Structure 1
Amino acid sequence: MVKLYLDFDNGLGEQSLDSLLPQFEVLSFLAEAPAINRETITIPRRHGVISAQHPRDVTYSSRKVTVEIYLNSKIHNNFYMLRHQLYALLVKPFAYYISTDLWPNRRFLVTCDGNFSIPKEKEKTHAVFSVEFTNITGMAESKHSTKTAQTQSGENWNIGMNLQSVDNLAYYFKNQKRFSVFNSGDVQINPLDHAYNVLLNAKGKNVTLINHTNGEKLTIEQELKKSQQVSFLKQYALLNNKPIKTSGRLPNLEIGWNEFEVQNTDDFVIEFDTRLYYL
């Protein structure tokens, strides 16, 4: 039996559909292929179309995730009650996460707007139907962040997540002026669209973080004490949770290896805390 897990971000964690409503059994889980939003132009006397953007600027649109489900109510009257229990469980005004054991350690942020029905044939107490979810980000994300060690022998990461042959990739660095950060996902990570944060404690003035892989850098335009922590909320840099002045932006993480450098400090610790994203 296929497992469907639901996480409504309500503190209860993920729960399987069959534990919440045992009369429902998931038969299949189908996510559409990723859908790219691509900007192109046409030029007179040139064949086809010309790409108008760098590949790193390509974005993904939402996509459908279709789950096929079997209901067996056993009793006619129960059919109607169970049908509406499922409607109430899945059709929400807010987005939530779904996942499946077929694709472990990944989850989809979805909405379900109720574009499905569960018809009952006269003499039958069972039915097969499909529920359509909308994966609003257009991609899956890892259930765990880089704070959880990426080991191939554990239960938090698995084959198919582009793991390296060496366990325990480093995302925490102390007084190491140059270091490498690995993005094992399929998507460039940026703080506006993704759960991506950097935690920095440093002593110095105009401390600068550079990603030499893509040329992006951030400078904190004030003097820092080692006891103060800099973090990030989308495009904002925060010092002890209060906005501070910066130039540039928190560097994105390109797919694969990212070569970083920290300047204007010799006394610092830095940690990259991000989920990874898959197509």
Structure 2
Amino acid sequence: MAPLGDVFSKLPEAINELVAEFSSAPVAGDLNTGLTQYSFWLLVAAVVFCLIMAVFVKRLTLVPHGLFVNGVEYVIDYVTNDVAKGVVGEQWRRHFPFLLTLFMFIFINNVIGLIPGMKPGTGAIGCTAALALCSFVYFVYRGCQKHGFFGYWKSLAPAGVMFPMNVFVWVIEVFSLILRPITLAIRLFCNMFAGHIVMGSFALMAALFTEPLLEQLTAMNAVTALPSVAWLAILLIIYVVEMIVAFVQAYVFTILTAVYIQIAEADEH
């Protein structure tokens, strides 16, 4: 059982190296002012998004043809009907470009992170915080545009509530408003970061159990490597799940933004 003992003895160090691999590291410059690996892949996702939309617009015809065009068309229809029209309501057209861009950009980031050797831009809290800040600025701006700057902030306290209770409610509403981008950023970051750590852990387990067999072909090492089959099977299942999560998290982020837009523009706001 020596090979099995060797595998478990290497596990703590390997896990630490795995977690360190997913920590932000500078690609150019330093960690404070330079370009980190997550920022780099965020920029890559932005380029990929622009290329996808450029090719889509170029190939778009009255009757869509091809898997690529139909696929993008399906995503656009989905965001139009389930997010923009379904949540925002009558004024959905003015917000549709922002919501579609948000959904596509986050989804592309998440998918890029599933490609071996790449990282999701959404796997760093700084990147998700920037996305959440864009969402926050957008729906607050739309609220101020609809009700006026002072009218929007004043309306956070519901009408009909007497002083001093209305001040207390206003403070709670402002605090709740500030929490929205924080929860958006943390939710997206935690789901993407945790998912990749889990996938990396199972890949690491498979590699550690197979390593003795690769170093020396013996019956004992072959038995030790058998659990790798189970680790790889679980890894494949988790990979499929993460593909679904990539879509779901983009959807959740976008639909919550749509809800906040609808609340900001509501007449009774």
The answer to whether the superposition gives a TM-score over 0.5 is: no
Q: Which has the higher contact order (CA 8 A, sep 6+)?
A: 2
Higher helix share: 2
Please, what TM-score do these two structures have when normalized by structure 2? 0.24
Please, what TM-score do these two structures have when normalized by structure 1? 0.23
Higher strand share: 1
